[in-house]
Amino acid sequence: MVSVAEDRDGQRIDNFLVGQLKGVPKSLIYRILRTGQVRINGKRAKPDTRVGAGDEVRIPPVRTATPAEVGTPSRTQLQRIEQAIIFEDRDFLVLDKPSGVASHGGSGIDFGAIELLRAARPGDTLELAHRLDRDTSGALVFARKRAALTALQALIRDGEITKQYLALLCGHPPRAKFEVNAPLRKSILQGGERKVRVSDDGKPALTAFRVIEVYDAASFAEVTLYTGRTHQIRVHSQHVGHPVAGDEKYGTRECNQLLRKSGLRRLFLHAARFEFTLSGKTFSFSAPLATELAAVLDTLPGSRVNAKT
């Protein structure tokens, strides 16, 4: 039995358990949650249940890996993550996360961005404020203080964050500006893979698209998220028939193969801007389009045409 401290008030139980069970794989943490072995004040907890100060959490016995079993990141990994830092102050640290680096470890991934940063900055207290898909590059925000984390996550829950992405969409949408308002439902497939689809019984999701440039086979767009559902941009773009280029899960083989000729080897989705106002101060974090994605735009066939709004 573990009592929840004041500074953990409002934290999700899955993240609380990560802090309590050092060295335990996230897959095991989610397994004990799914099977009802974790209880908060005697009640079964779901992964997104939030703990409160003074709550009593029952944690079942689990085998904790030794430091030798967990391993340590390589020097190259630590240097790469340090070089990707684009902002830091007393409250926040922001990473221009490279594609291929997960936000956190788990599901066969030893070290995500948070684990790498903690290894590179052992004296810091760092927590993920939000997440990006593993293949998505761009601005990823971490909190350096518990108060900053809870304040920012409250803004995220209330929809008071501006999150803008850059994406290459297959084909040409009929309008330069359009919104997709379609609820999304997440499923966990066998093996732990997440799959999301549009469903009437899903959670509300709203995405705004603005086409910036048009090419022969694709459209370069700025995408604004008004909600933060898993794979939201990828599923909404698929839903309207213009999936994100390079998307192996929700895209089309024909489009992906065609754009490989222009050098696209990854998902063309980049978190370009993350902006919010906290205690009267505005924070605006920007990450320039990843160089490998900019190179694809430079080599796309056909004349570049500015889209009309």
In this prediction, what percent of the chain has a pLDDT beyond 70?
92
Tens digit of each residue's pLDDT (9 = 90 or more) over 144-163: 988 899 899 899 989 899 99
Tens digit of each residue's pLDDT (9 = 90 or more) over 232-268: 999 999 999 999 999 999 999 999 999 999 999 999 9
pLDDT level of residue 269 (50, 70, 90 thresholds): very high
- Matching residue, tokens 């990006």: 132
- Matching residue, tokens 């904790």: 64
Which of 55, 91, 96, 133 is catalytic? The answer is 133
CATH number of this structure's domain 72-151: 3.30.2350.10
Instruction: Supply the pLDDT for residue 68.
Output: 45
Task: Calculate the dihedral angle through the C-alpha atoms of 138, 12, 19, 21, rounding to the nearest 10 degrees.
Answer: -120
Tens digit of each residue's pLDDT (9 = 90 or more) over 195-218: 899 999 999 999 999 999 999 999
Say whether 126 sits in a helix, a strand or coil.
Answer: coil
The C-alpha angle with vertex 37 and arms to 34 and 38, in degrees rounded to 5, equals: 90
Tens digit of each residue's pLDDT (9 = 90 or more) over 3-33: 988 778 888 898 889 888 876 777 788 889 9
Tens digit of each residue's pLDDT (9 = 90 or more) over 161-192: 999 999 999 999 999 999 999 999 988 765 56
Token output for 67: 């430091």
The fold of the 159-306 domain, in CATH, is Pseudouridine synthase (3.30.2350)
* CB within 8 Å of 259: residues ≥ 6 apart: 168, 170, 217, 218, 245, 246, 268, 296, 300
The closest of 191, 276, 190, 196 to 233, measured between CA atoms, is 196
Question: How many CB atoms are located within 10 Å of the residue 264 CB?
Answer: 24
Strand partners, 223: 165, 209
Same fold across 2-58 and 159-306: no
CA 222 to each of CA 44, 167, 180, 188: distance values in angstroms, whole numbers, following the listed order: 41, 6, 14, 29
Tens digit of each residue's pLDDT (9 = 90 or more) over 98-116: 999 988 876 566 788 998 9
Token output for 183: 């609820």
The closest of 162, 177, 176, 200 to 284, measured between CA atoms, is 162
Tens digit of each residue's pLDDT (9 = 90 or more) over 52-110: 989 999 999 887 655 444 568 888 989 999 999 999 999 999 999 999 998 887 656 67
Instruction: Supply the pLDDT for residue 59.
Output: 94
Annotated catalytic, 133?
yes
The fold of the 2-58 domain, in CATH, is 3.10.290
Instruction: Supply the pLDDT for residue 67.
Output: 47
In this model, does residue 122 exceed pLDDT 90?
Answer: no
Instruction: Supply the pLDDT for residue 209.
Output: 98
Instruction: Supply the pLDDT for residue 190.
Output: 56
Burial of 211 (0-12, 13-18, 19+ CB in 10 A): buried
In whole numbers, what is the pLDDT of the chain averaged over residues?
89
Pairwise CA distance, residues 33 & 39, whole Å: 9
The closest of 72, 59, 78 to 23, measured between CA atoms, is 72
The half-sphere exposure of 50 on its side-chain side, counting CA atoms within 13 A, is: 10
Residue ranges per structural domain of the chain: 2-58, 72-151, 159-306
Pairwise CA distance, residues 219 & 137, whole Å: 19
pTM beyond 0.75: yes
Instruction: Supply the pLDDT for residue 191.
Output: 58
